[in-house]
A and B are shown apart, each in its own frame.
Chain A
Amino acid sequence: QVHLQQSGPALVKPSQTLSLTCAISGDSVSSNGAPWNWIRQSPSRGLEWLGRTYHRSSKWYSDFAVSFKSRLTIDADTFKNQFSLRLHSVTPEDTAVYYCARGGNNWFAPWGQGILVTVSS
């Protein structure tokens, strides 16, 4: 059974970088073609897919939502079997609950427990 455990700070200052990690158990981050995603949720914007990374034919790929492409990085660490999100130049509008999730063909399961990240000085 796949389990995702998220970690990272709950408070980030404006203009800084929001960094979160998702540790995987029961699966491998380098499983061929399996997408590992970041999704966030806020009262004002609902559920927003941010991006994903996946390993296929010995290469790593990343896809990003258009709105975040310029300031989002998603990396995988095969030794620690985890993947991470870095969202640069954050503003208070980036305040949200951030989730990691394993992906399939237009579905997401399981999800991490979620971390509420507040952007404030």
Chain B
Amino acid sequence: QSVLTQPPSVSAAPGQRVTITCSGSSSNIEKNYVSWYQQLPGTAPKLLIFDDYQRPSGIPDRFSGSKSGTSATLAISGLQTTDEAYYYCGTRDDSLNGAVFGGGTTLTVL
């Protein structure tokens, strides 16, 4: 059981917008920055969002992040078939004194 809770799967049609939620608690998301990762099968996770909503260089603005209280959200607009992947959220947990991750969400682009 992961410290952060994500839905196991989400799906949407090409061109549409989808959101993935990440639920935590006062010891992690509420007090610390959240990051999001995309993992294609057989590859290492890739940073999509850091510091709740910032995008690294090279990440398109179709990907956006937000946070409110103990939850964070990744939104992907203008869905493309190449967006099919696993998505993970991460942050620091002050009670555990280390990084924690969500269980991951599979995105299917129908």
Please give the residue numbers on chain A whose beta carbons come within 8 Å of chain B beta carbons, in ascending order: 37, 39, 46-49, 51, 63-66, 99, 104-114
Cβ of B67 to closest chain A Cβ, rounded Å: 12
Stretch among B16-24, B77-85, B95-103 lining the A interface: B95-103
Partner of B47, one of A51, A105, A109, A112: A109
Partner of B98, one of A63, A99, A104, A107: A63
In the complex, are the beta carbons of A106 and B47 less than 8 A apart? no
Do A114 and B103 contact each other (CB < 8 Å), given the known contacts A47-B90, A66-B96, A107-B51?
A: no
Chain A residues contacting B64 (CB-CB under 8 Å) are none
In the complex, are the beta carbons of B44 and A99 less than 8 A apart? yes
Partner of B101, one of A46, A109, A113: A46
Chain B residues contacting A39 (CB-CB under 8 Å) are 99
Q: Mark B28-66, 1 if CB is under 8 A from A, else 0.
A: 000011110100000111110011000010000000000
In the complex, are the beta carbons of A106 and B32 less than 8 A apart? yes
In the docked arrangement, what's the CA distance between A48 and B104, Å?
Answer: 12
Chain A residues contacting B33 (CB-CB under 8 Å) are 105-107
